[in-house]
A = this chain, B = another copy of it.
Amino acid sequence: MSALPSAKALIPFVSVENMMRLVHHLGIERVLSELTDTIEDDFRRWESFDKTSRIASHSRDGVIELMPTSDGEIYGFKYVNGHPKNMAAGLQTVTAFGLLADVATGYPVLLTEMTLLTALRTAATSAMAARHLAPEGTRVMAMIGNGAQAEFQALAMKAVLGITEIRLYDIDRRATEKTLRNLAGCGLALQACESAEQAIEGAGIITTCTADKQYATILTDNMIGSGVHINAIGGDCPGKTELHRDILLRADTFVEYPPQTRIEGEIQQMAPDYPVTELWKVVRGEKLGRRDARQITLFDSVGFAVEDFSALRYVRAALAGTDFFQQIDIIADPDDPRDLFGMLQRAAA
């Protein structure tokens, strides 16, 4: 009888510190690029996933959500909160962690922080959508809302689409300055702008990522010229939108999982049968992405469990042969599975 937990009882846990080590070990642009491909692979086999809308617990100040999915071999879920007022208290608006488990046994195989990983996968999902929807040859992106997601979006669009210039705007100048500082020296031309209108000038991709939990109008119809791709990240829960509905009427809207997006996305402003195209069908070539150079495309991004699944399995594979994790004993594993009590009893000795 060993006093140590058995190997079956241990699962790798990736702390925030180890996630940062892993990202630096691989290089952030490589991570974003490989993550984009991993997400695209999973969108290509979309129908093999057990899909459900997230399970949300709403409260006055925010929401706590569980986002599970499974491909029949591996099960994954993410815990994530959204508390817009947290920022004023010096806390993260969004924190997350996630888990993978073996479907055949139900045993967990990976536990990891997902605050950073969610930021990475959100940017990678945007890049994947833009790869299919952005106007050809675009080199300029407007980034409206320069919060925690801004740099990840910029680097994903650089790594995956070859974006060379980012035009930044935020109602809080300090957020823009933070983003300028963080992206200095990364090989992108950066332009701080005085208004959303100025940021949009010449941009082929317009990314909106603001954080207010309320109906907002970050973009109005007259600001949007033909041919652009709008990457709308911030409208991601009931009551939270960023675009004027007139823009939606001129755009073709692409979504992750319609039942969820109709509740949480920009299209919550529209009728329940408002026409949308599922992104996975574009990835599979079953539906058209960008049709022509004048079309306005809109990726109404809310984040879906399959993307977290992709990120989790990417991390699991990337950990192999590294020491960017600790083993934690979160599973009780008695020698005789019926003898849970005996295991407890012997631990007293």
Q: When chains A and B are docked, how far (Å) is the Cα of A332 from the Cα of B14? A: 12
Q: Are A13 and B59 in contact (CB under 8 A)?
A: no
Query: Residue A328 contacts which of B15, B175, B331, B345 (CB distance < 8 angstroms)?
Result: B15
Query: Residue A342 contacts which of B21, B182, B329 (CB distance < 8 angstroms)?
Result: B182
Q: A17-B329, A95-B107 are in contact. Are A339 and B55 (CB under 8 A)?
A: no
Interface residue? A322 (CB, 8 A)? no
Q: When chains A and B are docked, how far (Å) is the Cα of A182 from the Cα of B81? A: 43
Interface residue? A270 (CB, 8 A)? no
Interface residue? A271 (CB, 8 A)? no
Q: When chains A and B are docked, how far (Å) is the Cα of A348 from the Cα of B77? A: 29
A153 shortest CB reach to chain B, Å: 10
**Chain B residues whose C-beta falls within 8 Å of the C-beta of A50 in the assembled complex:** 57
Query: Residue A24 contacts which of B64, B107, B182, B347 (CB distance < 8 angstroms)?
Result: B347
Interface residues of A (CB under 8 A from B): 5, 8-9, 13, 15-17, 20-21, 23-24, 28, 50, 52, 55, 57, 59, 61-64, 66, 68, 70, 72, 75, 77, 79, 81-83, 86-87, 89-93, 95, 97, 99, 101, 103-108, 113, 115-116, 119, 146-148, 150-152, 175, 178, 181-182, 328-334, 336-345, 347-348
